[in-house]
Amino acid sequence: MAKDNQSSERRKARVRRSIRARAYGKPRLSVFRSSKQIYAQIIDDAQGVTVVAASSVEKVQRDAMKNGATVDAAKTIGKLIAERAVAKGIKDVVFDRGGYIYHGRVKALADGAREGGLNF
């Protein structure tokens, strides 16, 4: 079990390293998915703060969705985080998939964020 954890941590670090190399000061849209929920946050790495966050755990989202672990829920969260980011004046971000394969819920969140007005 420890070996799986180490390999996932190495994969995540590799993704973050490549993102920092091409970020050029842009904030990072970070995704975390669990088996039941999905979370997204926009992080300003220069200051080390989370600027905007959205997740399927929020009360409004829980009431609207049957389950937070679906592609539809991920797309909704992507649109929500894009809406909040545009309200704060953020349009360009770098997408951090966090070691997850760009497929399914992670891809749906990215598509929803693009539809909402984010560029990456």
pTM of the model: 0.88
Domains of the chain (ranges plus CATH)?
2-116 (3.30.420.100)
Q: How far apart are the first and last CA of the chain?
A: 35
25 close to 31: Cβ distance less than 8 angstroms: no
Cα→Cα distances 39→3, 4, 8, 70, Å: 25, 22, 18, 12
d(Cα 103, Cα 50) in Å, to the nearest integer?
Answer: 25
Tens of pLDDT, residues 103-119: 999 999 999 999 999 99
Task: Name the band, by pLDDT with cuts 50, 70 and 90, for residue 6.
Answer: confident
Tens of pLDDT, residues 38-97: 999 999 988 999 999 999 999 988 888 888 899 999 999 999 999 999 999 999 999 999
Q: Is the pLDDT of residue 2 over 80?
A: no
What are the residue ranges of helices labelled H in the chain? 2-23, 59-64, 71-87, 105-116
Pairing verdict, β 38-44 and 28-33: antiparallel
